[in-house]
Amino acid sequence: MYIKNILSLVTYLPAVAAVVLLLFPRRSDRAIKTFAFLISVATFVLSLHLFYHFDSTSGQMQFEESVAWIEGGVIQHHLGIDGISLFLILLTTFLTPLAILSSWRAVSQRVKPYMICMLFLETGMLGVFSALDLVLFYVFWEVMLIPMYFLIGVWGGERRIYAAVKFILYTMVGSLLMLVAILYLFYLNGATTFDLPQISHNLAAGSIRIKTSEEFWLFMAFLLAFAIKVPLFPFHTWLPDAHVEAPTADR
């Protein structure tokens, strides 16, 4: 049986669970860990529904959901996946329960905020892989940074503050470049849409034209943002500090 709005359910279930965790007593560490783990497992099980119902013979986006986010429809809550993002979502939902298990004994202080950060981080990652609106994509992209900053800065090693600040500064520079590119694409489309499939259609139909120089700088802006986040050489220098100082689950 096909579950309606399954993509939103998979994406937002961890975030909703993180909000519910706020209601748990602060010292009920075992209950908090168990609840977070069960939610992450449930998210993985739901993601298998995507895999089961995915049509591998189609080259179109699947499980699409589109709702006007801001009046006028310029920014939409538009989700959808293809064959690549499907497996990235499955990988994320599979690894998150393992990450929570790996911190079961390693994290004994501030357990509730730790699990809240882990669940919000999962929603951020899932949203990045499924967002088809550029503003929505950017929001999820930034949502990932906040819990990662706290996971490194609060539960990291001796040099955790240095590593967390270095991480956030590097990634924020990349995010700023990507935001400029997104806004420029919006301008090229007559300030009418941030919808990625619509922008791609406009480009293919020739209704909008981009100069070679514009293509180059747009490509470079996105490339630098992704290269810093991945990270690729020579934009990788934040990673050794963050990797060493981060708690096991965040690595």
Structural domain includes residue 7:
yes
End-to-end Cα spacing for the chain: 37
Q: What are the structure tokens assigned to 7, written together?
A: 């993509």
Answer whether 134's CB lies under 8 Å from 196's CB: yes
Please give the residue that has the higher pLDDT: either 48 or 215.
Answer: 48
Q: What is the structure's pLDDT at 120?
A: 93
pLDDT digits (tens, 9 = 90+) for 89-99: 999 999 999 98
Is the overall model pTM greater than 0.75, yes or no? yes
Q: Can you tell me the distance from the alpha carbon of 243 to that of 65, in angstroms, rounded to the nearest whole number?
A: 36
Based on the domain organization, do 181 and 123 belong to the same domain?
no
Based on the domain organization, do 21 and 57 belong to the same domain?
yes
Based on the domain organization, do 124 and 5 belong to the same domain?
yes
Domain encompassing residue 4: 1-132
Q: Using alpha carbons only, give the angle 11, 16, 20 rounded to the nearest 5 degrees.
A: 155
Share the mean pLDDT of the chain. Answer: 85
Structural domain includes residue 106:
yes
Question: What average pLDDT does this structure show over 154-183?
Answer: 82
156 alpha carbon, distance to own chain's centre: 21
Long-range contacts of 82-89 (CB under 8 A, 24+ apart): 83/54, 83/56, 85/129, 85/130, 86/50, 86/51, 86/54, 88/129, 89/10, 89/47, 89/50, 89/126, 89/129, 89/130
Based on the domain organization, do 124 and 167 belong to the same domain?
no
Give the closest residue to 21 by CA, choosing from 110, 101, 113, 98. Answer: 113
- DSSP classification of residue 111: H
147-161, 210-224, 228-242: the lowest-pLDDT one: 228-242
Please check the confidence at residue 243 and state whether its pLDDT lies above 80: no
Please check the confidence at residue 190 and state whether its pLDDT lies above 80: no
Question: What average pLDDT does this structure show over 54-81?
Answer: 83
Q: What are the structure tokens assigned to 154, written together?
A: 């609060």
Which span out of 31-40, 167-176, 214-223 was modeled with the highest average pLDDT?
31-40
Based on the domain organization, do 45 and 96 belong to the same domain?
yes
Answer whether 86's CB lies under 8 Å from 58's CB: no
Structural domain includes residue 145:
no
Number of domains in the chain: 2
pLDDT digits (tens, 9 = 90+) for 2-37: 677 889 999 999 999 999 999 888 888 888 899 999
